[in-house]
Amino acid sequence: MVNLKKIRAAKARLSGIAEVTPLNYSGSLSDMVGSEVYLKLENLQKTGSFKLRGAANKIASLGTDAKERGVIAASAGNHAQGVAFGAQRVGIPAIVVMPEGAPLAKVAATRNYGAEVVLYGSVYDDAYHRAVELQAERGASFIHAFDDHEVIAGQGTVGLEILDQLSDVDAILIPIGGGGLAAGVSLAVKQLSPQVKVIGVQASGAPSMLEAVKQGRIITLAHISTIADGIAVKEPGKLTFELVSRNVDEVVTVSDEEIAEGILTLLERCKVVAEGAGAVAVAALLSQKVKLQGKKVVCVVSGGNIDVNFVAQIIERGLVKTGRKVLISTFIPDRIGTLNKLLEIIERCKANIISIDHSRTVEALPLGMAAVTLTLETEHQAHIQFILKSLAKLDYQVKVLNQGYGLF
């Protein structure tokens, strides 16, 4: 059984291996949601994720014979790095099976820690079944990503730290995929401070734990789809399901759009880099999926291993959605001075021109006319409307090319 004693033993075992991560107050988030919001920054953990705790605790608990056989695991990315790091630290071989679509940065980091990486399947569950097959062939010790007593105990050390850092916390929001983090943290918190509300957050495209809790039994989703690859799990664990059902007060879901907004808000307002799974707790607050006004709330930022290209995509789309960037097109007479006239109007509207495309070869363009496409830096949606109205008054026919361009 996982219990408070095991979690405390894991905390002692992880001393000098895992970091005690910061719990930072966020004035920006607090003002936005009307709660006193703190961020438990597991994105600053070694390997960039809380997963190191459970993986390293499990490896440390293995006997000499089990360690000599090496270890094997399945992971979407963060558990992979935790296992690879833990194995490298004690000098044993590690094999990690990851989905073929796993972020390249996570695959590269796992290999850099010395693990053999096998790419298989499209989601975590596919990789898990392949890892089970390989374990039977090679005899390595299996390090489950979430459904293991020692792994859950290791993740539960996050809960002990939160209570040490903020003893009067009212609520803790925790990402849920397979449920290891939520199971461990909720057990520790409910044993020590049963009045604290524990809320799990899943991606709406992968709500396996939520559906299991609703139905009172473990279920397997036929299909999952979410940008939060770290919590994209079709089936929760048996141990984690029991512990979450017993100790987590509520499970809510957030959409990919809301997750992306959470990533962007953390980056821009809090200067915190979070991956999709790491942003779901903040996304639940921002989208008002939970009502915690006036309460002291901790959001667990579970990881920060996000591809920089994906960050750029989220930033770009976020700028468009919030009205700080717009792409417009119009026609002008193909004569000297007409482009300057258009640009002078934009200048008077106080918009910054990022790029200009001027063409005479656009399809259906009338003779004697030129097509102009402008990318503008703006202040907000009202500023965009002011620009459009100003151009319309001067008989420009303007089309917004990225209207309704959401995040995901």
Q: Convert the pLDDT of each residue in 187-201 to its tens digit.
A: 999 999 999 999 999
Mean pLDDT of all residues in 159-181: 98
Last residue of a domain, one of 107, 142, 177: 142
pLDDT at 101 over 90: no
- Check pLDDT > 60 for residue 169: yes
What burial letters (b/e) apply to 266-300, b meaning 16+ CB within 10 Å?
bbeebebbbbbbbbbbbbbbbbebbebeeebbbbb
Shared domain check, 203 and 65: no
Q: Where is pLDDT greater, at 402 or 83?
A: 83
Across-strand partners of 142? 72
Supply the pLDDT for residue 77.
85
Distance between CA atoms of 247 and 242, rounded to whole angstroms? 9
Q: Are residues 219 and 293 in the same domain?
A: yes
Does pLDDT of 364 surpass 70? yes
pLDDT attached to residue 406: 52
Q: How confident is the model at residue 366 (pLDDT cuts 50, 70, 90)?
A: confident
CATH number for 121: 3.40.50.1100
Q: For residue 337, what is the DSSP state?
A: T
156 and 289 belong to one structural domain: yes
Q: Tell me the pLDDT band of 322, cut-offs 50, 70 and 90.
A: confident
Q: Are residues 37 and 64 in the same domain?
A: no
376 plus 392 within the same structural domain: yes
283 inside domain: yes
Q: Which two tokens stand for residue 359?
A: 């063409």
321 band by pLDDT with thresholds 50, 70 and 90: confident
pLDDT band at 263 (very low <50, low <70, confident <90, very high): very high
Last residue of a domain, one of 261, 285, 308: 308
The whole domain housing 40 covers 4-50+148-308
Cα dihedral 114, 231, 150, 115 in deg (nearest 10) = -10
Q: Please state the rounded mean pLDDT for residues 309-315.
A: 91
Question: What percent of the chain clears pLDDT 70, i.e. is strictly above it?
Answer: 99
Q: How many domains does the chain have?
A: 3
Q: What is the DSSP string of 159-176?
A: HHHHHHH-TT--EEEEE-
**pTM as predicted:** 0.89
Q: Are residues 245 and 295 in the same domain?
A: yes
The rounded distance, in Å, linking the Cα atoms of 60 and 57 is 5
Catalytic residues: 51, 302
Same domain flag for 198 and 326: no
Band of residue 405 on the pLDDT scale cut at 50, 70, 90: low
Residues 160 and 303 grouped into a single domain: yes
Flag whether 314 is in a domain.
no
Distance (Å) of CA 179 to CA 117, 232, 238 = 24, 11, 10
Do 273 and 335 reside in the same domain of the chain? Answer: no
Judge whether 280 lies within some domain: yes
Tell me the pLDDT of the chain averaged across its residues: 95
165 and 229 in one domain?
yes
